[in-house]
Structure 1
């Protein structure tokens, strides 16, 4: 189906101005104006920081543990196969489900597929589905200017500010007390009974994404050692890798790479080919920001886009419809 700009899901760009965030003048190079300090939340604030730190740091520490473990032993083939399978399932849950489907309406899915993709994305440990979508829609509304929750240009375009901004866009923004209101940015998902249920189940799905490889490792090897190595590689290490690939799209794909398509003023989204396969096509980020509802991001010759291939397969199976495939004419109007 050709892309139709008049038939998009509600996005922050279409929402009324936020009275709590007055318009800011921005020249594209200066640091973002400082936000008003958020009120202290006492114990709740400490819990938020502790949980965020656990989600961010523990999988990363697992990489070090895995390296130490490998010093005198080999990786079990079953662990790697299981890690690859779960990486693909949860990664595609984020890219096909959370991002191209729920956030941007690049296609419409039948109810079981919609729910399954939301569950798979939730098992990536990247937050509940409604919060994820709300934050990403806000990113598109304010890309690389004040209001963007994770722009590498937050601290300016000079070298020190750019390096600080890259770190902030990659992971630092997760620790900031800057919630995105779902009632403003994702009212359609709040009105969806199935998606609300998946969002409520997020803590249980986090447990499941770690318990599943543990149980499969035990079933295959029959010992707690096999269960632990499976939980390490197909659980924590897999989560850490997917985290940093996703965060790299937020950070690196706004600084490094090519920009063959025009984007809005100050929007510096780029195409970064080394991340294409690991990110399932999400690192063709320039086209995505030039045409957010497109179900395919890698549109030029040689641009691998596994997420688009999955959407195409689901379409042929009759499980998704109204897919917004790019057309030559539409792409031509967006060429730089």
Structure 2
């Protein structure tokens, strides 16, 4: 692959991100293969920091990390993480299901606890990503600088975190007009700073009360706030970077989106990214045997409780129609 194909930004896009996979802007990336050097470079770029984080956990156990901290961090990770994957992504961005008002608000609040930005801005960025996936106009493609190893390394850094500092902001009026008309969601979006405070302070408050000690509050703050937010951020950003650079591509898509199995649990099913780009409105991303997708299971529970309806579950025929072979 050379530099990204230039595509001019359309004057408007429909609010549903399913329609954002617009054929008029489609270009083909099929038939392109990574060299062995590219794969090794990507593996080193991805693997070393990830292994360092994993290694820190057993060394910390009993020395500033206890089971109270682990429970608090895990619960907060699940709530805020599924708030992003089920709420910000599959519901607000792609309309994979319809929800009662209370669930709409709950998902917007839960996703905000991930500290990844206000819900309307998050949705606008992601709809723009789908409109120009791996093309000029995509806010975070790892291929923006080209396909050489130095260019790809630079692109991965940009797609992972550099794009967050881009001075060009996505036009919310163009990409999220439906949410700007929703009074309840606008209020949640404006309350984002207060929700950040709640996300930061809840773990130490719970940890302090649970252990009835300042030490319990301090360790819960470190693991339940700092580590939890940091890990969730990097997992989310890895969908932008890693899942558009490597992975299996069993489904037809117009970009470089791939399935990365070892991110599936931490990303709550989001790393089955190739199917998502092949069928953006699907409520389930892990559609093949053995593909863990906890976000789809959460949506299933909401449907069973009557909080969600008209869920866009992928049929066998729909999945088969999108297979590459």
- Say whether the fold is shared (TM-score over 0.5): yes
How far 1:10 sits from its partner (Å)? 3.0
Q: Secondary structure at the match of 1:86?
A: helix
Which of 133, 144, 149 is 2:139 aligned to? 149
Match of 2:308?
Answer: 320
Counterparts of 1:1-336 in structure 2, within 5 Å, are 9-11=15-17, 70=60, 73-264=63-254, 267-336=255-324
How many equivalent pairs are there?
288
Distance 1:147 1:248 in 2: 19
List alignment gaps of at least 5 residues for structure 2. 1-13, 31-52
How far 1:15 sits from its partner (Å)? 11
Taking structure 1 as reference, are residues 27 and 286 closer, same or farther at Cα in structure 2, changes over 3 Å only?
A: closer
- The alignment's TM-score, normalised by the length of structure 2, stands at 0.83
How far 1:13 sits from its partner (Å)? 5.3
- More divergent stretch after superposition (221-230 vs 304-313): 221-230
Distance 1:71 1:282 in 2: 29
List alignment gaps of at least 5 residues for structure 1. 1-7, 17-22, 30-62
CA contact (8 A) 1:115 1:195 kept: yes
How far 1:292 sits from its partner (Å)? 0.1
How far 1:71 sits from its partner (Å)? 9.0
CA contact (8 A) 1:151 1:169 kept: yes
- The alignment's TM-score, normalised by the length of structure 1, stands at 0.81
How far 1:234 sits from its partner (Å)? 0.4
Match of 2:33?
Answer: none
Match of 2:4?
Answer: none
How far 1:221 sits from its partner (Å)? 1.7
Q: Secondary structure at the match of 1:99?
A: helix
CA RMSD of aligned residues (A): 2.7
Distance 1:81 1:304 in 2: 21
Distance 1:72 1:329 in 2: 51
